Structure 1
Amino acid sequence: MSSLVPEFWTPYELSFILVLFRVAALVSLLPALGEASIPARVKLVMSVCMSLIVFPIVHDVSQNSLAGANWLSAAIAEVGIGLWFGFMLRVFVFCLQIAGSIAAQSTSLSQILGSAGAEPLPALGHVITMAGMTLALSLGLHVSAVQYLIGSYTILPTGQLPDISTISEAGVAQIAWGFQLAFSLAAPFFILSLLYNLTLGVINRAMPQLMVAFVGAPVITAGALVLLAISIPVILKTWAGALFGLLNSGVIN
């Protein structure tokens, strides 16, 4: 063990602390529980509670992997692994935010009701994001996150530094897939915007004297809100299915 570690700490306690490092790093980026609006004390309590569940299951793996390893290096590796696994889940939040921004810009709802929250998103983006976070928690996000953490020890045991090239490729692939999912979720609003602009163009050519902007603005706003009410169950179902598919599989896309 490293000389930086207090002598009164037993290997059992050191193993728990390393588990806590990984869990706390992941919780800091976990959807819903890792939001900037969540107090740090709440995140800390959640990290300790989840560590108490994870540690008895992965204790043997953690102890075997830690044997003969430098404790400080293992601690740094655990924080990095937790942040990386948390980032893979955080991409799903980015999906909702990007989808909401695309939908708002496509349907002229980017400024309606202004912007609220810690991140500069249009109101429609906040509605979709908060709905997704609420659905994830109601479906047992915390339980699936514990299973995801336990599975992470099979992929990357305690103290094992990940291969940079492997995690870089996986991270790029996850981000690319996230943009693809975001555009798919916002596709109904993009199609509505396309049809709206084509219709306005035809009307403007047929009746140049008509102020189509004054007629079309209320139509696209009302149509976008109606489309949101109709499509948001499908959007959230698709998003939640992808999120829990990754959490329950325990593997990385």
Structure 2
Amino acid sequence: MELLLELLPYSQSALWSGFAVFTRLGAFMAVLPAFGDQPVPTRVRLVLAVMFTLIVAPTVVQTIPAPPASMLAAFGLLGMEALTGLFFGLFLRFFILVLQIAGSIAAQATSLSQIFGGTAVVDPQPAIGHMLVVAGTALAALSGLHVQVASYMIHSYVLVPFGVALQPALVAEVGVAEVARTFTLGFILAAPFLIASLVYNVVLGVINRAMPQLMVSFVGAPALTAGGLLLFFLAAPIMLAIWLAAFSAFMEMPFGSMP
């Protein structure tokens, strides 16, 4: 019993360190692409959070101080860790939002927005967006998403150490930059559909001026739909390749502007 009592402080420290890491990673897993999607059962996500904790904790345990004497101080630290996990996880979720934005723009430009498909999120989205999200998530998983996520989680402790609160100015600066990049990338991916829609409307306007008696909308609508599907068939691999390259670049060097 005396030997066990001597080991008690070490066990308390180990449990505190593990739970502190789990708090950040649990919040991170709530918004993580693929692993944190709604179709994944809650128990599976909990097990994944524990597994990632076992991977990340040994590398960052030296940076976690001893547990505070006050329970209120401990809850304050854990609350900051949960916010930090959400902060880092949301920027990976933004890459899924890129595909949703690109799919919505492409569907609207090709008159396919009324065709809804299954969705991994609460709100329904066009079938084009759903296909892009599913394909992008599958590509990320096949490209070693679990290894990239573990590295990203470890790197988060370098950017924001344990117990350090997020600075509002830094959150605003990085958040605005990442949101701008999200919409920019989504627009870039959907650019072929916007260009095709512009050409279609210009040609349709010229034909309408030349032949006012012709109901060009009835003739052009099926052509626009068929052309949109054909364009999606040709452009989807390029769109996903560009998205995957941007996602991999972010995972290798997250927040390049952050100190």
**How far, CA to CA, are the matches of 2:245 and 2:123 in structure 1?**
25
> Sequence identity, in percent?
44
1:90 aligns with 2:93: yes
Which of residues 73, 79, 82 in structure 2 aligns to 1:79?
82
State the partner residue of 1:181: 185
The gaps in structure 2 that reach 5 residues or longer are 1-8
Verify: 1:108 aligned to 2:105, yes or no.
no
Change (3 A) 1:200 1:250: closer
CA root-mean-square deviation:
1.9
Q: 1:142-182 CA deviation, whole Å, 9 max, x = no partner?
A: 11000000000111111111111111111111101111111
Residue pair 1:96, 1:182 contacting (<8 A) in 2 also = yes
**Residue 3 (structure 1) aligns with:** none
Q: Distance in 1 between matches of 2:117 and 2:213?
A: 35
Higher RCO (C-alpha 8 Å, min separation 6): 1
| Cα offset, 1:206, TM superposition | 1.1
Matched, 1:232 2:239: no
Q: Name the stretch that deviates more: 153-162 or 75-84.
A: 153-162
TM-score by length of 2: 0.89
SS of 2:214's equivalent in the other structure is: coil
| Separation in structure 2 between the aligned mates of residue 165 and residue 68 of structure 1, nearest angstrom | 31
User: Alignment partner for residue 17 of structure 2, among 8, 12, 15?
Assistant: 15
Gaps of 5+ in 1: 1-6
Deviations 1:176-195 (A, max 9, x none): 11111110010000001000
- 2:235 is aligned with what amino acid? S
Cα deviation, residue 63, structure 1: 3.5
Contact between 1:97 and 1:121, CA under 8 Å: does it hold in 2? yes
Matching residue's letter, 2:131: V
Instruction: Give the structure 1 partner of residue 5 of structure 2.
Output: none
Native 8 Å contact 2:68 2:74 kept in 1:
no
Matched to 2:93, the amino acid is R
Distance in 1 (alpha carbons) for counterparts of 2:176 and 2:21: 27
Q: CA deviation at 1:83?
A: 0.2
Give distance in 1, aligned partners of 2:10 and 2:143: 42
Asked whether the 8 Å contact 2:99–2:132 carries over to 1, the reply is: yes
Q: Structure 2 counterpart of 1:44, which letter?
A: L
Distance 2:56 2:97 in 1: 27
Change (3 A) 1:59 1:147: same
| Rounded Cα–Cα distance in structure 1 between residues aligned with 2:128 and 2:252 | 29
Alpha-carbon distance in 2 for matches of 1:175, 1:55: 30
Contact in 2 for aligned 1:22/1:82 (Cα 8 Å)? yes
Letter in structure 2 aligned against 1:80: L
Q: Distance in 2 between matches of 1:62 and 1:245?
A: 29
Question: 1:20 and 1:152, CA in 2 relative to 1: closer, same or farther beyond 3 A?
Answer: same
CA distance in 1, matches of 2:256, 2:105: 27
Q: Is the 8 A contact 1:147 1:250 kept in 2?
A: no
Name the CA distance, whole Å, in 2 between partners of 1:237 and 1:23. 28
* 1:192-218 Cα distance to aligned partner (Å, 9 max, x none): 100011111111111122221121111
CA distance in 1, matches of 2:220, 2:68: 69
Take 1:12 and 1:178, find their aligned partners in 2: how far apart are those partners? 39
What is the CA-CA distance between 1:71 and the residue it aligns to? 1.7
Corresponding pairs, count: 245
Alignment of 1:113-124 (within 5 A): 114-117=116-119, 118-124=122-128
1:1-253 equivalences in 2 (<5 Å): 10-63=12-65, 70-112=73-115, 114-117=116-119, 118-251=122-255
Q: Partners of 2:192 and 2:130 in 1: how far apart? A: 18
Question: Aligned partners of 2:56 and 2:118: how far apart in 1?
Answer: 36
Residues 227-251 of structure 1: per-residue CA shift (max 9 Å, x gap): 1111111111111111111112243
